[in-house]
Amino acid sequence: MSCRDPHSYTDLDQGRVVHMDLDLNVDFDTHRMTGTAALKLAAPVGGPLDLDTRDLDINKVTTGDGAEVPFALGERDEVMGSRLRLQLPEGTQQVVIHYATSPEASALQWLEPAQTDGKRHPYLFSQCQAIHARSVIPAQDSPLARFTFHAKMTVPEALTVVMAAAPGEAGAGAESGTRSFTFEMPQSIPPYLFAFAVGNIVSKDLGPRSRVYTEPETLEKAAWEFAEVDGMLTAAEEVFGPYLWDRFDFLVMPASFPYGGMENPRLTFLTPTLLAGDRSLVNVLAHELAHSWTGNLVTNATIDDFWLNEGFTVWAERRILENLEGEEAKALGAAIGRNGLNEALAEFGPDSPFTRLKTDGKGKDPDEFYSLVPYEKGFLLVSLFEQAAGREKFDAFIKKYIDHFKFTSITTEEFLEFLEQELPGVAEQVDAKRWIYQSGLPDNAPQFTSARLEMLQNLARGWTDGLRPDPREGASWSPEDWQIFLQELPRKLPLDDCAWLDENFHLTEQGNAEILCNWLIIAANSGYEPAFDRIRSFLSEVGRMKYLKPLYSALYGNEKTKTMAVEIFADNAGSYHPIARGGLERILAS
């Protein structure tokens, strides 16, 4: 047996699924998807084949020529779901699984018309990272098991399907009142990158390789916000080499989408909270674009190696911003990230195994230990590699690394072996094993600074001594300036200080979600009542966990607002994505 992934029943010695043909019908009345998944194996095999499922109804399994295949669905594990064991006849290379998803599928969110921008049509979208693909497709749900696919999806005729794949034909469905859409993914992907959405969706081209999809009501706003995507794509190719996914299209999601973005190849998903109206939050798009190389081309073998995806991607995101906007933009971004990392380290505790880059998550739900640690601690380590090797040599290494491992999934140890081969002594020079295998933040963490960053930090750190920003100067601060200043302020302020900030800078009326959330966290911790109505409305408008978790934590941690946290959650839980809802339930049960 070779179950190398602690979060999957996959045993690649039994056989490897290399291609999937999907034919699925979407039923908004029952909140189910029904159909077939035809799995093609790399070579003919016989005997047991274990697949991952979560709450799937398995109706029948056959070989490619229609012979029945015995199967057994194991008991449900809270983390892993249920193992589906097929008993394959000798010489089997294809199996067809007839199944249906559950209305409670953890990867899917079914939205009523009232939860969309247009208020007229329902909406469905998937979010398969980290181990939720098994609730949509019976699969070897491990990053180790990459596959290509063809998909046909049939939906109500008023709706459109988009998918992280190359679109094919669209036409009338087999049943009256339906339409069918086909897609092809010729490049192999790990299961967590399987993604689609169904709704009233339209699009607009932004460049020869990029297109934005949204609901009609959001299209022009989104097209303006992300109009500079072609420049990002060119800057990313300077860092990594050629873009190998043909197109970089993206979909601006409904408000309940739980992440800032999801790097699904050919169709990145983005939160609508990025639509600030001033292009100040497009760094998230740069991050998801960078994933086209670090994550999508070279993928972590398991969730325990997640830092290989995220640490390199944050590093690349900031290199792209540096190329486009200069070193100060990189320094400001690194400072915002460092603040987030410090909060994550404090929340876990300095000795927590989840502050290591290489984790051991066996038996634990990846959603429970998801944090900024692999992102920001990983970024710092990659930056150390760059500093030790020198930029020119490290840039050459990155291109070689991507080319060598493209379309594969690797472990931390495989990365370290390649690093030593190409840049001998660099890992030892920066004490990489301490960074990777030990808890906390080593004392050789690199520092990123600029005159503006130091001014903002000193101003905020002097708050208790009476330092205050000049209202006229503060009015001209950038969104990044405000994020850094608010993050550096004490988490709890006297009510008079809250009132002074709000009266001078109108923070409760702020339209930029990053600034607003940072301010509302302070307001919640401080019990600043003039912001309570905005806290309530904000938590009913957004589904992004980056905002929900710290704001609910602040409310629930303050005796004055604990009851309010419970009430707001009760009012809005049904609108949150299942992944976000589960995380908030854990906060409110602590």
Which residues form the catalytic set? 288, 375
Closest to 71 measured CA to CA, from 89, 90, 93: 89
| Cross-strand bridge partners of residue 250 | 212, 268
Q: How far apart are CA 182 and CA 160, in angstroms?
A: 11
Query: What sign for the dihedral angle of Cα 475, 477, 480, 483?
Result: negative
Which DSSP string do the residues of 156-204 spell out, in sequence order?
Answer: ETT-EEEESSEEEEEEE-SSTTEEEEEEEEEEEE-GGG--EEEES-EEE
Tokens for 333?
A: 């971004």
Q: Going edge to edge, which strands form the sheet with 249-252?
A: 202-207, 210-214, 249-252, 267-270, 261-262
Residue 522: burial class (beta carbons within 10 Å; 0-12, 13-18, 19+): buried
Residue the block writes with tokens 């049904």:
574
Q: How far apart are CA 285 and CA 298, in angstroms?
A: 19
Which DSSP string do the residues of 220-257 spell out, in sequence order?
Answer: HHHHHHTTTHHHHHHHHHHHH----SS--EEEEPPTT-
For 65, what's the count of Cα atoms within 13 Å in the CB-facing half-sphere?
A: 5
Report the amino acid identity of residue 189. I
Contact indicator for 252, 212 with CB cutoff of 8 Å: yes
Cα 39 versus chain centre, distance: 26
SS3 277: coil
Strands 57-63 and 178-189: unpaired
Q: How far apart are CA 7 and CA 9, in angstroms?
A: 7
Report the amino acid identity of residue 176. S
SS3 284: helix
Q: How far apart are CA 140 and CA 125, in angstroms?
A: 21
Tokens for 164?
A: 């992280």
Q: How far apart are CA 539 and CA 550, in angstroms?
A: 11
Tokens for 237?
A: 């190719």
Q: Find the distance separating the first CA and the last CA of the chain, reported in whole Å.
A: 39
Q: How far apart are CA 5 and CA 333, in angstroms?
A: 33
Tokens for 411?
A: 């472990």
